[in-house]
A and B are shown apart, each in its own frame.
Chain A
Amino acid sequence: MTLSFIRNKVVEVEPLADGSLSIFWRLADSLTEMEMTMKVRLPDLEITEACARIIRSPHGECASAPDSIQKIVGVRVGPGLRKIAGGLMGGSASCAELTEAVLEAANAVILHFTVPQIQANAKGTEEERKKRYQDMLRFNPRLVRSCIAFADDSPLMQGING
């Protein structure tokens, strides 16, 4: 059967020459098309620039949505961002997709830093890989119990306190 709806979302992280990160986010679906770009300063992960545009929407109200993105300038990518972004950008009285854009861009920044660690973890024997994951967990205790791989009864967690 044919589709009634398709949504495409893409988010990209690019390191810039000045040491900051540029993040590009785009949503295009059967009804809506919008873009957001953000710049994040390192090492403190402060959002230094943000802008958005609505390219296509079935709702006239969406035209004013990009104004809210400026409110996240000065906020840091980190714990609590969901609540901060929701509060600053207006919650259900604002554009839900642009608020999600900020969170997805922030998630992409974190995953940008995760890629080299995952590549390193993939090398060696099973025991060596397990040790690297346990070292990663000791350095990032927030990951403990964050998913099934790092649950208390996971084989990856055996011996971690030893």
Chain B
Amino acid sequence: MITFSRAIVVTGEFLREDFLRLRGILEDHIYAMEIQVDVRLPEGIISSIQGFMKRYTTPVCPKAVDVLQKTVGMSLRDPGWISRVHREIGRQGCQHFAEILVECGRCLDSARMSHDLGDTLKAQPSASPWEIARSWVKTHPEAQGSCLARPKG
């Protein structure tokens, strides 16, 4: 029997070509919470953020919702953004809000690539998704350097 399970869902919706709304939802045996964050592209700057605590463990936990506002103006491309989120949103607010926000931020370029890949395949249905993805990484240096599939240069 499963004694602990966690599910995270992240969605990406382009409000405009230069504005991406990311929503992250976390549900597990202990916690349930949600974040909505609007990000200006391509810089990855958080323009607004909302949080919702649905299931939590202490009466103090909901106070962490206001702490999320510290991220407004922050760039998800700053080299230390993940550490900063864990430090300022996690330790000073809620670790699980921080986990959701980090997951949303890590989906930033995947959401952009998915969006562009979809548009390209509509225009060129027989194109190779691998070639389109490779070309996308090459033409988006801001998305390079995070893993073996997106090397720098």
Contact = CB atoms under 8 A, between A and B. Distances in A.
Interface residues of chain A: helix, strand, loop or mixed (majority): mixed
Taking residues whose C-beta sits less than 8 angstroms from the other chain, chain B's interface range is 35 or more
Contact of B9 (A6, A12, A93): A6
Interface residues of A, number: 55
Nearest to B108: A5
B152 to A, nearest CB: 8
Contacts, number: 161
Contacts of B9: 6-9
Contact of A10 (B6, B61, B106): B6
B147 to A, nearest CB: 4
Interface of A: 1-15, 29-32, 57-62, 64-65, 90, 92-97, 100, 104, 107-108, 111-112, 114-115, 118, 121-122, 133, 145-149, 151, 154-156
Interface of B: 1-15, 28-30, 57-61, 63-64, 67, 90-95, 99, 103, 106-107, 110-111, 113-115, 117-118, 129-130, 132-134, 137, 145-151
